[in-house]
Every structure is written in structure tokens, then in C-alpha cells.
Amino acid sequence: DSGVTQTPKHLITATGQRVTLRCSPRSGDLSVYWYQQSLDQGLQFLIQYYNGEERAKGNILERFSAQQFPDLHSELNLSSLELGDSALYFCASSRQGSNTEAFFGQGTRLTVV
């Protein structure tokens, strides 16, 4: 158990809908990262938050957004969902702003039908 908690584990939704994925980092970790894992794209970095503020942005679509709350949990919001958004979404956390020793949660499997 990495100590990173993601909910829900599975999510099935229709095209055009909006969903929210939740991540609770390891105790004491200030950084949260979101990654998308799909069969054709592999593991892709989406976005990182550090102590409530956006720190880095990767290949995140404009339809996607994230935030980190004062209690350090993070949410990834996906809207206007398309079939191609079906993937595993992982959250990872680390102690400092650096991404060394990032610990991953078990992921949320999103299926868009």
C-alpha cells in the first residue's frame, strides 16, 4: 500500500458527461501529480500541484482541470467526456516539489460509453 488513496476505483459514464476523480496523498506529502495511462499513449503526465498551487502542466486537455485543497487532497475534473478519455487515471504524491520518489495510488479506471 503506497499510502495514496484514489476514489472511485471504477467509473462508467456516458459521452458528454462530467466526472470528478479524487486523490488523497500520503501523509505529509505536499505534491500531487496526475497521470493518464492508456494503451496507446502509455503513462502521460497531466498536471502537478504543490501545496495548493499549480506547479507544472503536461498534456492536459482544456476539458480537464484539477485543484488541490487546503487539506492537500486533489480532484481531477473531466468534462465533455469523449470515448477516447477512457483510461486509467493515476494520482501520485511526493514530499517536496521535486518528483523524486513519487508514490502512486491504485488508479481510477474511467470508461466512457
Partner 1 sequence: QQQVKQSPQSLIVQKGGISIINCAYENTAFDYFPWYQQFPGKGPALLIAIRPDVSEKKEGRFTISFNKSAKQFSLHIMDSQPGDSATYFCAASKTGFQKLVFGTGTRLLVSP
Binding interface with partner 1 (CB under 8 A): 2, 4, 31, 33, 42-45, 48, 50, 55-56, 58, 90, 92, 97-107
Beta bridge partners of 21: 76
Q: Distance between CA atoms of 20 and 65, rounded to whole angstroms?
A: 10
- Closer Cβ to partner 1, 81 or 105, answer by number: 105
Q: Distance between CA atoms of 30 and 25, rounded to whole angstroms?
A: 8
We find the least distance from the C-beta atom of residue 80 to partner 1, in angstroms, to be 25
We find the least distance from the C-beta atom of residue 25 to partner 1, in angstroms, to be 13
- Closer Cβ to partner 1, 15 or 51, answer by number: 51
Burial 54-90 (b: 16+ CB within 10 A, else e): ebeeeebeeebebebeeebebbbebeebeeebbbebb
We find the least distance from the C-beta atom of residue 60 to partner 1, in angstroms, to be 11
We find the least distance from the C-beta atom of residue 44 to partner 1, in angstroms, to be 8
Q: Distance between CA atoms of 3 and 104, rounded to whole angstroms?
A: 8
Q: Distance between CA atoms of 15 and 32, rounded to whole angstroms?
A: 27
- Closer Cβ to partner 1, 60 or 80, answer by number: 60
- Closer Cβ to partner 1, 15 or 41, answer by number: 41
